[in-house]
Chains A and B, each alone.
Chain A
Amino acid sequence: MDGGPQRSDVVAMLATYGDRQPEQVPETISSLELAWLLHQIEQRYGPVDIDDEMFVRMATVTGAVEVLRDLKVGERA
């Protein structure tokens, strides 16, 4: 079973920046939001090793979900 972050989880994590509602979170992720998202991910799922190419892919919520899935973040062993 996939325990990793789903799209709604990524949106929820982004929404914690600026106390936003999920529907206020844009599809695009700014560089500040990316730093915030990384921080939220590591607090919930532990350290992650994301390289430059993966950060580039995380320019959108869709991309972020894909990268986290590729890295198997949060998946049960």
Chain B
Amino acid sequence: MTEGAYPQLEPEWVDEVLLAGADDQACLHLDQPITRAGLRRMVAERQRALTEAGLRRGGACALCLPPSVAFITNLLAAWRIGAQASLLDHRLTRYEVDTALARLRPQVVVTAEGSAAPLRGFADVTEQVCGYPGRPATTTHAVIQLSSGSTGPSKIIGRDAANLIEEVRRYTQIDGVPRGGERIVSLASMVHVLGLVGALLYGLHAGVKLTIPARMTADGIIGAVAADSLPTTLLGVPFHIELLASVPDPPKLPQLTGMTTGGELVRGDVYTAFTDRYGIRLGNMYGMTEVGVIATDLFGENRPAVMPAPGLTVREEAGELLVSLPESPYVGLADPARWADGWLHTKDAGTVDPRTGLVRILGRLDSQVSVGGLKVDLTEVEHTLATMPGVAAAVVVFDAAIEAYLVLDRGDRLPAVESEIATRLAGYKRPRRLNVVEQLPRTATGKLVRDRAVLREATPVAASGSAVSGADAGPG
């Protein structure tokens, strides 16, 4: 067997940091409560299944699973084997998954039969475990995630066990996070860093019961909170604040002590509407896949600023926020514009108050946008469209939703182009509207213009995707 890059820490870290605790403690609640003993038993079963499929210490697997008990148990099982787990969003298309696997080259791949139904907080998964012609882990990272790349391939981001443990322990030092014996109702996907570390790993470590609502509707969320009397924190993204704030007469929820959102800042009017209606604090968490939580304002006292988390330093250089990080998180990429000399470039514009240390985030310096809490790089979407057969040129812009302006080789190819987009891009990355134009506006030097007002003036050939234009528009 080929030697892998053995994980940095002995696999016992999983038992010590995440699985330790009383056997009968209910640590998770998805469709039903799961005790620590039950979780340990399920993890052991998954270890047997993954080992049978060829996963060993130093090996590499990929998990393409929706939020589910299966995601949790397979992830912990892979780590207990001492293997590296790459996490692929379950909404990625077949094409995107195949492309990712060809880059990551794991030895074992775990997928789910069928797809998760809309608005389900978690899925009931039957895993499919398959071998893949890959190789053992080439780094000591415990988890690998992919981030939207700006041009060409996405960045491969790795975090080792020590870094994950450091973040979990960092959470324990932040004033305002839920404590042992309390509960988190997480609306943030456990496949991405906020839900993964902030809810799942921190919850397991600190004895905070993690509940996922069965339905991500206003009723579903409120029902999940109301179902248990433990002091409860809601964790989500700004959309959930808008949704909950619009419930005209919510029931009294005395167990709800606060809510925290990650992603972009909640608008002032929505912030006020929510806090008035529910009578709880609304906090904010700023972080990145590369490092996890960076700064918080869990009581809303410093809004719109956030305070760096213990153990991290944030500084500003040339208008960009940098975060202290001893080693580069990027696998196979040495780009000083991303990480250099112990500093991670956030690509967020911002300021740091020299007196208080408070951080203000002012916007992106690149083309990344947040679509319902998920990060999408517009340049990646544009590059995908522009290099597709049948597309002569493309510009992608964002104005509350992703929108594309296209010049096609042939006017009648729009349905084929739409179909191809659906195979190449996960739903949340796809333009919500495709405007086919005769030609794209360019500057005097020939560069594409991205000004939305100018683009709207471009002579249309056809528009696809408008609800108002009729039932014939859009995918059938």
Contacts and interface: CB of A to CB of B under 8 A. Distances in A.
Interface in B423-476: 427-428, 430, 432-433, 464-468, 471, 473-475
Interface residues of A, number: 33
Given A20-B400, A26-B466, A27-B466, A35 B246 contact: no
A39 B386 CA distance: 37
B196 interface: no
Contacts of B467: 7, 10-11, 14, 22, 25-27, 61
Interface string B109-125: 00000000111100000
Interface string B397-423: 000110000000000000000000000
A46 interface: no
Contacts of A43: 248
User: Does more than half of chain B's interface fall in helix, strand or loop, or is it mixed?
Assistant: loop
A28 B119 contact: no
A57 B408 CA distance: 30
B374 to A, nearest CB: 10
Nearest to A38: B217
**Interface range on chain B (Cβ under 8 Å from partner):** 20 to 34
A22 B468 CA distance: 7
A19 B219 CA distance: 22
Contacts of A53: 117
B118 A39 contact: no
Contacts of B218: 35, 38-39
Contact of B465 (A22, A27, A30, A38): A27
A27 B432 CA distance: 8
Interface in A34-77: 34-36, 38-39, 42-43, 52-53, 55-56, 58-62
Nearest to A51: B117
A2 interface: no
Contacts of B372: 30-32
A42 B218 CA distance: 10
B468 A23 contact: yes
A48 to B, nearest CB: 11
A7 B471 contact: yes
B474 A60 contact: yes
B120 A52 contact: yes
Contact of A60 (B247, B433, B475): B475
Contacts of B401: 26
Given A27-B474, A39-B246, A61-B467, A34 B428 contact: no
Nearest to A26: B432
Contact of B119 (A23, A42, A55, A60): A55
Contact of A39 (B217, B432, B468, B473): B217
A39 B117 contact: no
Specify which of B246, B372, B467 lies most central, judged by the most chain A CB atoms within 10 Å of its CB. Answer: B467
A28 B119 CA distance: 15
Given A35-B216, A42-B219, 17 more contacts: A10-B467, A14-B467, A17-B242, A25-B467, A26-B466, A26-B474, A27-B475, A30-B371, A31-B372, A35-B239, A39-B246, A52-B117, A52-B118, A53-B117, A60-B475, A61-B471, A62-B474
22 contacts: A7-B471, A10-B467, A22-B467, A26-B401, A26-B433, A26-B474, A27-B467, A28-B465, A30-B371, A30-B427, A31-B118, A35-B119, A35-B217, A35-B218, A35-B239, A38-B119, A39-B247, A52-B117, A52-B120, A56-B117, A61-B467, A61-B474
